[in-house]
Amino acid sequence: MDEKRIEDRQLAFLVDGDNASATMIEDMLAEASKYGSVIIRRVYGNWTAGGQVNTWKAKLKEYALTPYQQFPNISNRHVTKNATDIALIIDAMDILHDSIVKGFVIVSSDSDYTSLAIKIREHGLFVIGIGKKETHDSFRRACDVFVSTENLGKVQEEADGEEEKERDRPKGQRKQRPAKDALELLNRAFESAVNDDGRALNGDIGAALRRLDPGFDTRTYGKSSLLNLIEELDDVFEVERFDRGAIYVQRKGEKPVREARKDLPTPESPAQCSCSPEDALPLLNRAYEAAEKQSDGWVDTFKLFKTARKIDPAFDSVIYGKEKISHLLEALPSHFVLNRRGKIMMVRRADKAEEEIENAVPELIAPAEEATAPVAEPAKPEPAIRGMHAVRLVTKAFEATVKDDGRAFLPQMSKELKRIAPDLDLKSLGKNSLREFLEEYADLFTLEKEGRNVYVTKRKGRRPARPITELVR
């Protein structure tokens, strides 16, 4: 399904009533609802005294908010405020350890909640912060997403002294920053999300922006969406839309080779490809020697692609019948070995891998009779390639069966895998079932059992590197 899915995670909405105003409660709840269902709604403060918390009294019943009273231990405004902070934090930790929700919304501009946000994220839960734009960066960056109240539907500015509070002002009257101010951050996000064909999915750029700056919001620049902001910068970026809903972004003037040269074949018409993967070997070998390598000889496939482009600007994996350079390398198992590290695909020359295996053989072989047995060394890299291809097919089956809660029913996923890859034999990989295969790749997939049912979820984060001897075994 190509359209955007709203995640069905359950959220706890916790408000520091002594620090936040109730004026924008409707917009706050609407913003929180973009990320899940708000099932807990609490407002903390000293309801017996005057101050900011009193603005919430008229909103309690209307928005199903539960007030939590925190009496001051001594008559000091600052101490009372600290008591409210502590009460909210204690309740948040209780909710966290009771596993009631999958995410928190903390409404406050107080950086004292930084440690709370960090602790929640350490437990793998989602955190949204809502506060004023001057909120300290420590709290903003501790959240997965931080939304400034100035970017919500309506804004109320508070004036000091004798000036009266200015009533809700429409968004059109808000002072907005020019789109050019977002260019530096957009460039960094684009570099993080770009594929080896020079293009990046619009959604991947958005995810990269959130990682770089959780407080990034297109509304700060007067745009309702990231796509509108990128289109505003049409002198820097170009947008390309496809029939299935995919939206790609590329730099101005850096069109993919397949578009610049109309005579080249496309992935949709592999039969028209006149070159075989072996024809790319001379260029790939030169690029591998020139590319920046890690200490163990592995090279990022994207860096290899960029190096190949420097040697030959017309290089494109599509010329050789493959959509990506990783697919091209995978078609040359006797020359290159691939290994995934988190979201990065790494490549290494096969002869280097064989040398490492040969050096490790004396330590691995124990019985004398086994030492005399012939070993077909050149064939060893093949299982790793087939295993990676199987991971790609299993991932495709997962994406075709995943539900709105981010889980796929294991039997349904297994059935889909047989449909899209009828020739895939997991037993040739040493696994009797799909479940055993998923357990082998526990750094990519997680199995959850509910009664007799087993569900599959896809893990996020960096995948630890696996020893070369394990990959080619």
Question: One-letter amino acid identity for 246?
Answer: A
At 383 the pLDDT is 43
At 43 the pLDDT is 92
Identify the architecture of domain 10-174 in CATH. 3-Layer(aba) Sandwich (3.40)
Which of 104-108, 197-201, 327-331 has the least mean pLDDT? Answer: 197-201
Q: Residue 221: is its pLDDT beyond 90?
A: no
Cα separation, 12 vs 100, in Å, equals 9
Cα separation, 342 vs 461, in Å, equals 7
Selected from 1.10.3720.10, 3.40.50.720, 3.30.465.10, 3.30.420.610, the CATH number assigned to the domain covering 381-471 reads: 3.30.420.610
Residue pair 254/194 in contact by the 8 Å Cβ criterion: no
H/E stretch holding 29? helix 25-33
Q: What are the extents of the domains in the chain?
A: 10-174, 181-255, 267-370, 381-471
Helix (H, G, I), strand (E, B) or coil at 387: helix
**Higher-confidence position of 319 and 91:** 91
Cα separation, 96 vs 294, in Å, equals 40
Q: 12-21, 77-86, 430-439 — which one is most confidently predicted on average?
A: 12-21
Helix (H, G, I), strand (E, B) or coil at 448: strand
Structure tokens that stand for 11 in this block: 């959220």
Q: 55-69, 318-332, 458-472 — which one is most confidently predicted on average?
A: 55-69
Q: Say which CATH class 267-370 falls into.
A: alpha beta
Residue pair 18/52 in contact by the 8 Å Cβ criterion: yes
Which of 117-121, 243-247, 283-287 has the least mean pLDDT? Answer: 243-247
pLDDT in tens, 308-350: 878 887 787 778 877 778 888 888 888 888 887 766 788 888 7
Q: At 196, phi and psi to the nearest 5?
A: -75, 0
Question: One-letter amino acid identity for 170?
Answer: P
DSSP letters of 78-132? Answer: HHHHHHHHHHHHHHHHHHHHTT--SEEEEE---GGGHHHHHHHHHTT-EEEEEE-
Residue pair 229/223 in contact by the 8 Å Cβ criterion: yes
Per-residue DSSP letter, 315? -
Cα separation, 149 vs 456, in Å, equals 37
For the chain, the average pLDDT equals 75
pLDDT in tens, 253-311: 765 544 444 444 444 444 444 578 888 888 898 889 888 888 778 888 888 888 887 88
Q: Residue 53: is its pLDDT beyond 50?
A: yes
Q: Residue 374: is its pLDDT beyond 60?
A: no
Confidence category of residue 419, pLDDT binned at 50, 70, 90: confident
Residue pair 106/11 in contact by the 8 Å Cβ criterion: no
At 387 the pLDDT is 64
List the beta strands (DSSP E) in 202-355.
Answer: 237-241, 247-251, 299-300, 336-341, 344-349
- Describe the crossing of helices 281-290 and 301-311 by its angle, rounded to 10 degrees: 110
pTM greater than 0.75 (yes/no): no
Q: What is the largest CA-CA distance in the chain?
A: 95
Structure tokens that stand for 212 in this block: 């770089």
Reference 107, options 125, 123, 85; nearest CA is 85
Query: Do 181-255 and 381-471 come out as alike in CATH topology?
Result: yes
pLDDT in tens, 301-311: 888 888 887 88
**Higher-confidence position of 434 and 471:** 434
Left, alpha or beta for 151 (phi > 0: left; psi -120 to 50: alpha)? alpha
Selected from 3.30.420.610, 3.50.50.60, 2.60.40.680, 3.40.30.20, the CATH number assigned to the domain covering 181-255 reads: 3.30.420.610
At 386 the pLDDT is 58
CA 468 vs CA 37, 331, 429: distances in Å: 44, 19, 17
Q: Residue 360: is its pLDDT beyond 50?
A: no
Structure tokens that stand for 385 in this block: 């390639």
